[in-house]
Structure 1
Amino acid sequence: MRIVKLHNWPILMDDCCSLLNQEWPRSKTARIHSLSKSSDYFPMCLCLIDDGDNNSIIKLETNSNGDPLDKPIGQLIGHVKVSRGSLEGEAYIESLIICKSRRGQGLGSQFMVSIEQFIKSIGFTSITLHTIDASNFYSKLGYSLITTIEALGPASVNIIAGETKTQSKFNQNTNQLIVTNHQQGTSSKLSIDCPLPPPPPSNPITNRPVIKQEKIVMNKRLT
Structure 2
Amino acid sequence: MGSRSEELSLVPLHQRPELMEACAQLLGEEWGKSQASRLHSLQRSSDAFPICLVLLRSWGPAELPAAEKSPCQLLGHVRLSRVVGHPHSLFVESVVVPRALRGKGYGRKLMEAMEKYARAQGFHRLHLTTHDKQHFYAHLGYTLAEPVQIMAFLSSGISAKVLRIFSAHPSPATSNLGAWVPATTQPSLPPTMVPPPPPLPPLSWMRGAPAKSYGQNLLETPHCDAKGLPIFWMKKDI
Report if TM-score (shorter chain) is over 0.5: yes
TM-score normalised by structure 2 residue count: 0.59
- The separation in 1 between residues aligned to 2:30 and 2:77, in whole angstroms, is 12
Asked if structure 2 preserves the Cα contact closer than 8 Å seen for 1:2 and 1:48, the reply is yes
Calculate the aligned-residue CA RMSD, in Å: 1.7
1:195-216 deviation per Cα after TM superposition (whole angstroms, max 9, x unaligned): xxxxxxxxxxxxxxxxx31111
Unaligned segments of structure 1, at least 5 residues: 54-70, 154-211
Q: Which residue of 2 aligns with 1:164?
A: none
1:219 Cα offset (Å) = 0.4
Q: Which residue of 2 aligns with 1:73?
A: 71
1:11 Cα offset (Å) = 1.2
Deviation beyond 3 Å, 4+ runs, structure 1 = none
1:49 Cα offset (Å) = 1.1
How has the CA–CA distance of structure 1 residues 129 and 95 changed in structure 2, closer, same or farther, with 3 Å as cutoff?
Answer: same
- The separation in 1 between residues aligned to 2:72 and 2:16, in whole angstroms, is 13
Asked if structure 2 preserves the Cα contact closer than 8 Å seen for 1:94 and 1:129, the reply is yes
1:14-57 deviation per Cα after TM superposition (whole angstroms, max 9, x unaligned): 1001101121001122211110110111111111112137xxxx
1:83 Cα offset (Å) = 1.1
User: What secondary structure sits across from 1:214 in the alignment?
Assistant: coil
Write the mapping of 1:1-223 to structure 2, written as runs, cut at 5 A.
1-52=8-59, 73-86=71-84, 87-147=86-146, 148=221, 149-153=223-227, 212-222=228-238
Q: Quick check: 118-127 or 140-149, which moved more?
A: 140-149
Q: How many residues align?
A: 147
- The separation in 2 between residues aligned to 1:93 and 1:144, in whole angstroms, is 14
- The separation in 2 between residues aligned to 1:152 and 1:115, in whole angstroms, is 26
1:72 Cα offset (Å) = 7.4
What amino acid is the match of 1:42?
Answer: F
How has the CA–CA distance of structure 1 residues 83 and 72 changed in structure 2, closer, same or farther, with 3 Å as cutoff?
Answer: farther
1:127 Cα offset (Å) = 0.1
- The separation in 2 between residues aligned to 1:37 and 1:23, in whole angstroms, is 20
1:6 Cα offset (Å) = 0.7
Q: Which residue of 1 aligns with 2:5?
A: none
Asked if structure 1 preserves the Cα contact closer than 8 Å seen for 2:20 and 2:39, the reply is yes
- Tell me the percent identity: 37
1:84 Cα offset (Å) = 1.1
1:152 Cα offset (Å) = 3.5
- The separation in 2 between residues aligned to 1:85 and 1:72, in whole angstroms, is 36
- The separation in 1 between residues aligned to 2:128 and 2:42, in whole angstroms, is 18
